[in-house]
Chains A and B, each alone.
Chain A
Amino acid sequence: MVTTTATTDKPKAPMPAGRVLILLDGSRLSLAALEAAGEIASARNADVLGIFVEETNLLRAAGYGFAREVGGSSGLARPLEAAALEARMQALAEQARRSLQQTMARRGLAQTLKLCRGRVAKEVLNLMQPEDLVVLGRVGWSGIPGTRLGSTARVLLRQAPGDVLLWAEPRPRRQNRVVVLLNHDQGANHRAVRVGAELARRSNQPLSVLIHTRPEDDQSVAEDILTYLQREGIAARVKRIPVASAGAAVRVLQEEGATQLVVSRTSNLFTDQGAEALLSELNLPITVTP
């Protein structure tokens, strides 16, 4: 969980002007993500847009007379009725609205809840601007038990025009670092470093920047980043790590004591086939920058 000990005495970096989008589905993790979104929005003084999507597939499925709902834990089947489902969705939407209101009102933030019907990922992508940050739980209620990355998260990770924060509740650890994972030659590095710096400042945690570097690469990139961070007044260390598989990267992250991770979508981490599964193993909030 992001702490509220954001320091105000430090020089403020220019804040992104975008909104904070929060995906709500009434699940436990989405409520936790809502808190995190509140924190971020409060720090950025940004508007908050809650999004609650009624999944068309689900509504349609309920329309079938033979439709059954098989319990996720018990395995018991019971009829799935359209009317009952409607009522449940409404109740969930109402709950989402209430949670959003309460969370944002506490922080004095403006908020709106957008109710829509359709495919979740598609609706979000429609609503999102490049400078926006979308916050969502890694999985919603719509998950196969044990899944660490939901289908919506999967789509947004790859397609969102702005930053995506996949929220997870990490285990408390003794080390707390914000880690930014970069490719050496990457145009989007700057955005990732900026987001990492903001996170570190907000959560009052040290920052690590890990750069995948080949031996023949220019060393100045690291120095440039360090200079930038020093100028920003952020306690940071920059490390070069060899280009390796996603599994190796995950181990490095664990060693570094990461509690929050910032990674660019263009990172070669995502070229690895099992990257998503490995990322999900980290069980920490991940911000993916375009």
Chain B
Amino acid sequence: MAVPAALTEDQIYHRCPPEKLDFETTEKLDDLELPFGQDRMLRALEFGASMAASGFNLFVLGPTGAGKHELVKRFLANHASGKPVPPDWCHLFNFLQSDKPNAIELPPGDGRTFRNDMNDLVSELKTVIPATFESEEYQSRIQELQEEVNRRQQKGLLVIQEEANANNIAMVSTPAGFSFAPMRNGEVIEPEKYETLSDEEKELVEAKVDDLQKKLQQAIQQVPRLRKEVRERIHQLNEEMVQLTLGGPIGELREKWAHVPAVVVHLDAVREDIVEHAEAFQDDENGAPAGLLNRYRVNLLVDNADTRGAPVVYEDLPNHQHLSGQIEHRARQGNLYTDFTLIRAGSLHRANGGYLILDARRILTQPLAWESLKRILFSGEIRIESLERLYGLATTVSQQPEPIPLNVKVVLLGERMLYYLLSHYDPDFLDLFKVEADFEDDLDRDNASYMLYARMIATMARASGLKVLDKAAVARVIEHASRLASDQKKLTAHDRVLKDLLAEADHWASQAGEGHIGVEQVQQAIDEREYRASRIRERSLEQIRRGVMMIATEGAQVGQVNGLSVLQIGATRFGQPTRITATARPGKGQVVDIEREAKLGGPIHSKAVMILSRFLANRYAPMGELSLSASLAFEQSYGGVEGDSASVAETCVLLSAITGVPLKQSLAVTGSMNQHGEVQAVGGVNEKIEGFFNVCAQSGGVDGQGALLPASNLEHLMLNEQVREAVREGRFSVYPLSHIDQAIELMTGMEAGVPGTDGVYPESTFNRLVADRLAEFADVSKKKDDDKANSSGGNGGDNNRDD
């Protein structure tokens, strides 16, 4: 197999062609309204925002810092501006059930007018009704009523008095009532004289007195009924007077609000209530109690007077109360009171008829908020209930406002993981959030995208108030965006990282006194950023330089190779070489993965080692036994190993251990391998190569070193300037691998060898060496087995057969 040629500088770095950028500075570039390359997400948004059916709420998923929030807000604001303004909502006192305030819908802007109208009415009531009661008309009518009752009351008594007088009996007033006694010439007869009367006369008198007493009793006992009657008639009069007084103001309002039947109904109820409570307005000292008047006021829950188009609301603290609204209380002398005027709208109320943007992570971390949101979306109406009431923790009397019908699009923003977890674990989730709008992490880098990306950068700089960028700076940002995407054919779509980079470059430009951002400032921003995060990397390099961590970058060694790994700490990633060693001796066809045995290896790594052991068996002992006991270890690795990117290196080092052929220590290897020996792509190639390069540079300079990587990773290379310089000068080489044999040839300098038609590798090739060596191992093992079988009575057979 031919050894691959080392890559050229152009292959390891995809420059931004200057001719694709048709401008001098970003000043001339137009803003980009919507991001490019996010067509899938935009179509999903468009669909979700327009889809009327219930359950078609949106979940916008993408990595944090991708600019989801800003984009969604901008998109929805744009989309909503053409939609109708939703109605206003008011809570009104319910005169039938005082703890269940009514909710009424009003055309947008009318809510405010209605509230003012009712406030005016209340002010008017305060003066008009007492004035009615003070009027001479009312006073004289009341007096008439009382006189009439008095007359009727007196009449009964006077009749009795007259009857008594006619019978010569006096009706005498006593301190507590009346008494009857016989009378002559207007004076009560002295009891002594009365005794002289005949028995018949006395009998007549006493019978009459008795009769009169009974009549008097009856007459007096009529009095309470009369009083009740007068009370009723006074009440009737009050109603009549108030009814007439209210005719004007309420009539006007009725006419004004004839287009809203609910208001008319309410006005009628208000009138009824005022009439019913007319007496309360009679208090000259204090006027009508405030509590009574407040019942006629309007609690304007949702005011869309100033809303243009459909509302777009972002709730930054999406807890239960903020979403569904709450009922506040007023403390008065240590007691808590509430009424319908203390009902407060939630963000769902405000967003009703439009869009509500929520952060998925935040709503999930607020206790019970997610459940509340789902319940409201399912029921299609907003019912304001306090949490303590909802969960039966408080049973005090409170308000239960009439639910308000809900028509809102909820747009959740969150990471992909949340979306997938919710889909998996919450059975309601997909019922309610049927539209997924998935953000692209990376954008395609092609001829058409250069200018668009440049405009995106220009838009960002302008929006953040940064200096303009010149052409070279934009080109450098584009190249860096490719590096961030770890792909020559992609550009990162990560909004935050780019913005930060531009802001830092702007800072350095200001420091340097530049009027615009040049390529130097962009480079400085990248370098400074890297430097700030470099403490651990520097420490690691120092360990290698001082020999604490043993890495060889020159010479050749049997059973030892430089693998490449990537460390990620926080937001920074860097690569570093790791020494992988192997041992081999005859045995029962097993490759011991020391990392796994020590429980420092992950499952993917174990899988890779198993693949490589099957590769060995299949390739070098297809018909016979693989008599091998080998071991593999990552030296000085104490933190665990995961991934299969070391399998090419492990294969090389194992074969070196079997054959005793030394491997070049100036080359580092990365790449995964399948059972047929084909090399497969891995991640983090840029960091790995740069990491090895840095180690070489620190330990005696870069001179003839290189790195091997899968050919399929070629497009992922965006290596830094130092590496490119070394490649340009031929001091450092990067080789693409497509098969394990290429790695063997590069590492050993020997021909790998292709088996002939008989399946045997040609003489003096590396593979022949391996096959021969393994055959030797097999012989040794067989001999050992035979001896063992003989000594144990010859029941050998195939019990030590390797498979």
Contact = CB atoms under 8 A, between A and B. Distances in A.
A62 B180 CA distance: 9
Given A56-B188, A60-B188, A146-B153, A26 B158 contact: no
B136 interface: yes
The SS class assigned to the B binding surface is helix
Contacts of B219: 75
Contacts of A155: none
Contacts of B223: 73, 75, 145
Contacts of A2: none
Interface residues of A, number: 37
B191 A64 contact: yes
Contacts of A281: 143, 147
A176 to B, nearest CB: 16
Nearest to B151: A146
Interface string B286-300: 000000000000000
Interface in B135-165: 136, 140, 143, 147, 149-151, 153-154, 157-158, 161
Contact of B172 (A61, A66, A140, A141): A61
Interface in A113-131: none
A16 interface: no
Interface in B169-186: 170, 172-182
Contacts of A69: 174, 176-179
A252 interface: no
B209 interface: yes
A70 B173 contact: no
B154 A66 contact: no
Interface stretch (B36-44, B210-218, B246-254): B210-218
A72 B177 contact: yes
A141 B179 contact: no
A71 interface: yes
Contacts of B140: 254
Given A70-B177, A70-B178, A92-B175, A61 B220 contact: no
B221 interface: yes
A46 B182 CA distance: 42
B715 interface: no
Contacts of A57: 170, 172, 181, 187-188
Contact of B154 (A61, A68, A77, A144): A144
Given A57-B188, A75-B218, A80 B174 contact: yes
B179 A144 contact: no
Interface in A64-86: 64, 66-77, 80, 85
A125 B174 CA distance: 22
B420 interface: no
B194 interface: yes
A143 interface: yes
Interface residues of B, number: 41
A141 B191 contact: no
B190 interface: yes
Contacts of B176: 69, 71-72, 141
A143 B177 CA distance: 8
A147 B173 CA distance: 13
B206 interface: yes
Contacts of A15: none
Contacts of B180: 61, 67-68
A68 B213 contact: yes
A26 B175 contact: yes
B170 A144 contact: no
Contacts of A68: 179-180, 209, 213
A76 B161 CA distance: 18
B150 A146 contact: yes
Nearest to B146: A146
B189 interface: yes
Nearest to B178: A70
Interface string A27-63: 0000000000000000000000000000111101111
Contacts of B161: 144
Interface in A126-166: 140-148
B206 A66 contact: yes
A127 to B, nearest CB: 20
Contacts, number: 111
B189 A66 contact: no
A63 B190 contact: yes
A12 interface: no
A72 B161 CA distance: 14
A88 interface: yes
A144 B175 contact: no
A72 B220 contact: yes
Contacts of B213: 68, 70, 77
B782 to A, nearest CB: 131
A99 B194 CA distance: 38
Nearest to A80: B179
A141 B175 contact: yes
B205 to A, nearest CB: 9
**Residue picked from B147, B172, B210, most chain A C-beta under 10 Å:** B172
Contacts of B157: 144-145
Nearest to A26: B175
Interface in B429-485: none
A56 B217 CA distance: 24
Contacts of A76: 217
B154 A85 contact: no
B197 to A, nearest CB: 12
A146 B149 CA distance: 9
A61 B188 contact: yes
A205 to B, nearest CB: 20
A141 B172 CA distance: 12
A80 B176 CA distance: 11
B181 A61 contact: yes
Contacts of B178: 69-70, 72
A71 B157 CA distance: 13
A57 B165 CA distance: 14
A6 B754 CA distance: 138
B181 A60 contact: yes
Contact of A75 (B175, B191, B206, B217): B217
A66 B204 CA distance: 13
B173 A141 contact: yes
A223 to B, nearest CB: 31
Contacts of B153: 144-146
A95 to B, nearest CB: 11
Contacts of A88: 175
A143 B176 CA distance: 10
Contacts of A85: 174
A20 B117 CA distance: 61
Given A77-B217, A146-B153, A254-B136, A55 B179 contact: no
Contacts of B158: 144
Interface string B566-594: 00000000000000000000000000000
Contacts of B188: 56-57, 60-61
A97 B377 CA distance: 83
Given A63-B190, A75-B217, A77-B213, A146 B172 contact: no
Given A67-B181, A71-B177, A147-B154, A58 B172 contact: yes
A75 B209 CA distance: 15
B626 to A, nearest CB: 120
Contacts of B217: 70, 75-77
A217 to B, nearest CB: 29
22 contacts: A57-B187, A60-B181, A61-B170, A61-B179, A61-B180, A62-B179, A63-B190, A63-B191, A69-B174, A69-B179, A70-B178, A70-B216, A73-B223, A75-B223, A80-B179, A140-B173, A142-B175, A144-B157, A144-B161, A145-B154, A254-B140, A281-B147
Given A57-B181, A60-B189, 17 more contacts: A57-B187, A57-B188, A63-B190, A64-B194, A66-B210, A69-B176, A70-B177, A70-B179, A70-B213, A70-B220, A72-B177, A73-B220, A85-B174, A144-B153, A145-B223, A147-B154, A281-B147
The 9 A-B pairs at the shortest CB distance, nearest first, are namely A142-B173, A75-B220, A146-B150, A61-B181, A63-B191, A60-B188, A72-B177, A75-B221, A57-B188
